[in-house]
Amino acid sequence: MFSRYLLLIALVVFLAGGMSARSQERERRAPAADAAKEEVPKPEVSVQKVGETLYRVGEIEFDAKTREIRFPATVNMNEGGPLEYILVNEKGKVHESIFTTSVSPLYLQVALKLLRYKAGYGDVFDRLLSPEVLEKEGGSAEDRGDSIIFTFQAEGSAATIPAYEFVIDGESAEAMTPGGWTYTGSVVEDGLFMAEAEGSIIAIYLDHLALFNMTRDGADIDERWGARSSVIPEIGTKGTMTIQPFTEKKVLKEE
């Protein structure tokens, strides 16, 4: 079923999936972004059916029935900070992320589109805008993308831990509050899918180039967040990151 829609999905990824960046959000672009545009190739996308409802694109496996997406991730940081990301591609800003992965953000975007997850900024980045710009460009909560929850399971462990448990809030000195992330979907600039160029996947500190952003208080403060060493496995620990639709019931179950 998915294969015949592949060309359409590729167009959706580059045209509909990304959104034009707002003026103040452009300040979050990394200094090396222009160089990255010259170096990052557009990977060829091939979706394979590997089970009754299971499909694979690259190293990513996804389920058409449950809408779960699974892919490998590795612990990159287990103490310190400040943190700006839960997860980046291994060629991204690894010094600011708890986890890294070798998977392509473009492939992940394809899987999300095939599973019909909705991307959208809504009001997620409104707090970065001046009052004058906010009046013209501000969004609404109703226009946000779908809410997502991430969990990590280390190899050889039976425990599945929600991603927010790995982050400590420097303001309260406690774990990040439970909740999901918004699928904002990154942007396309000069024909390049910027999540692929930057390697930015799950942001803690607001980043319009990342695939996912959070709406918790403090998302616009880059020095507020740190790695929660009491929970995070040793650096180098490999495991599986899972994406699921977020529900309040799921959070309560995880706790």
The tens digit of pLDDT for each residue in 72-103 reads: 999 999 999 899 999 999 999 999 999 999 99
More reliable by pLDDT, 135 or 168: 168
Omega before residue 82 within 30° of 0, cis:
yes
Q: Can you give the pLDDT at residue 45?
A: 77
Number of neighbouring beta carbons within 10 Å of residue 140: 10
Domain total in the chain = 1
The tens digit of pLDDT for each residue in 153-172 reads: 999 999 999 999 999 999 99
Task: Kindly report whether the global pTM for this prediction surpasses the value 0.85.
Answer: no
Domain span at 56? 3-254
Q: Can you give the pLDDT at residue 139?
A: 87
The two three-digit tokens of residue 33, written as one number: 């972004």
Element (H, E) at 35: helix 33-39
Q: Give the C-alpha separation, 21 to 105, whole Å.
A: 18
Band of residue 40 on the pLDDT scale cut at 50, 70, 90: low
